[in-house]
Amino acid sequence: MTRIPLLADTRIVVAEPGDGDVVLRPPPERDRLADPAQAVRDALAFPLQGEPLERLATRGGTATIVIEQPALPIPGAPTGPRHVAIATVADELERLGVAQTTILVAGGLLRRTTPREIGMLVPPDFRRRFKGRLIVHDAESEELVEIGGLGNVPLRAHPALVETDLVVTVTAAETVLHGGPAALLAASGRASLRAAGALSLLETSASQGWRLAVELERLLARSVPLIGVSLALNTPSVAGPFAGFPYDEAAVERILRSRLRLLFGLAPSRVRQRALERLPRELTAAAVFAGPPSVAHTEALLRATVFRAAQLDRPLDAIVVGIPPTTASLPRERPNPVNAAYLGLGLALRLWRNLPPLAAGGTAILVHPFPRRFARPTQDPYRALFYDERTARDIGAMRDAERAAVEDTRAIDAYRAGRACHPLQPFLEWSACDATAHRLGAVLIAGCRDATAARQLGFVPVHGLGPALEMARGRGAERIGYLLAPPFFPIVTAA
């Protein structure tokens, strides 16, 4: 009988799929760039569309490099192709005679990057030689420039995107809401950021966030030249004794047979957490594209989806997702219940193309203890959503809570000081969960140790994975899928 390990917080739960069930895993790595820096230079010299960087840069002028927090993919790596790409673009601008380069960290509503963390976004040697400015975006800044709108959503941009001779985005193609023109949107105001939703993170047709990002790119392009660099990343890989997980069945079997797994299960929670954080990880790139940010990002995202996606012949009746002990944003922390729900419903189950992996009315099983644990002060804004028992199930109460959140001056000050995320971020994550949950029959929390926390968010607490599977089959599930994650990867469902 096939057995598979599922990471549930800091513990490993072993599942035994039945006949007819499906184990979803990403394919093995196909391509890897031997020299990412040269690939970036080639892409800038031969973009997919528009002028090369050499013709866009103004000698003696200014340029703004827009980057994002490297929150995705999960797990990440201390250094990777994005670090190389940022340094390469900055070096190319210096070679072309640009006098002043500004690096703008566009974090949207996430916690603002602190001075101590900024150095982790670029290679160590680049930190020592970079002589330009480095700015962290503030979605509440009064200096944001209004440049237009889409429908009733105003579009405001950071001054560094407007008061410059050139804008270059340097991102990885993870989703339609992360990378490419979404980096420009992440340097806008709270109204547009709150409106940036999507049913699928890999399809543009049903994404308000993509439409807002492309419109912002179009409006900026009227006054300043734009070019983007987008990297198609490979699936993050684990080094050491478990190298090859999750796409290699031999690596999965090594984990199941390892004595380290038994010792890991007996260790205290903090020891398990540190062991997971210290696992050696590697992140590589398969391709680099340049051109207008939306064009380069679209091509890179399609390429990354082809390289990394698991194939599914038809939607499942139920799916099991293990929730790792991390948040989907920086700093990496133990997730609170809203974070945990977002990892499963808002991230893993929105990474699909063609059709959702779970049929309408199906059952999602999230394997996680779901404790009411809120790291202070970084997760304080989540308390406003979670501790009002009406909020998660009553749209009127949700709107009232949102209005109260944006009027909370203490919460806004904490965001601007880099101590916590923006008070609207929890509501954005919960809306992402609802984009998946609204079409499901039930969401079960397997291994739940806080039944009140699960019920408060409208979920069903279950003691363990076995009883959760029985409940799913009792609801009519005949074909159950098991998502071998993290890392989270795309799922392409046959139409």
Q: What secondary structure does DSSP assign to 264-287, as a single string?
A: HHHS-HHHHHHHHHTS-EE--EEE
Residue pair 221/292 in contact (Cβ under 8 Å)? The answer is yes
> In which residue ranges of the chain is CATH 3.40.50.11440 found?
36-233
Q: DSSP string of 417-450?
A: TTSS--TTHHHHHHHHHHHHHTT-SEEEEET-S-
**Which residues, 6+ apart, have CB-to-CB distance to 437 below 8 Å?**
345, 364, 443, 458
* Helix, strand or coil, per DSSP, at residue 54: helix
Q: Which pLDDT tens digits describe the chain residue by residue (495 residues)?
A: 478 889 899 888 889 998 889 999 999 888 899 999 999 999 999 999 999 999 999 999 999 999 999 999 988 888 899 999 999 999 999 999 999 999 999 999 999 998 778 878 888 889 888 989 999 999 999 999 999 999 999 999 999 999 999 999 999 999 999 999 999 999 999 999 999 999 999 999 889 999 999 999 999 999 999 999 999 999 998 877 677 777 777 878 887 787 777 777 778 888 888 888 888 888 999 999 999 999 999 999 999 999 999 999 999 999 999 999 999 998 899 999 999 999 999 999 999 999 999 999 999 999 999 999 899 899 999 987 877 666 666 777 788 888 888 999 999 999 999 999 999 999 999 999 999 999 999 999 999 999 988 998 999 999 999 999 999 999 999 999 999 988 999 999 997
Q: Where in the chain is the domain with CATH 3.90.226.30?
A: 4-26+309-493
CATH of 4-26+309-493, one of 3.20.20.300, 3.90.226.30, 3.30.60.50, 3.60.70.12: 3.90.226.30
479 SS3 class: coil
Provide the residue count of the chain: 495
Q: Is the pTM of this model over 0.75?
A: yes
Tell me the C-alpha distance between 189 and 165, whole Å. 22
Question: Could you give the count of Cα atoms lying within 13 Å of 471 in the half-sphere of its Cβ?
Answer: 21
| Residue 358 and residue 440 in contact, taking contact as beta carbons nearer than 8 Å | yes
DSSP, res 31: -
CB-count exposure of residue 304 (10 Å: 0-12, 13-18, 19+): buried
Question: What is the CATH class of 36-233?
Answer: alpha beta
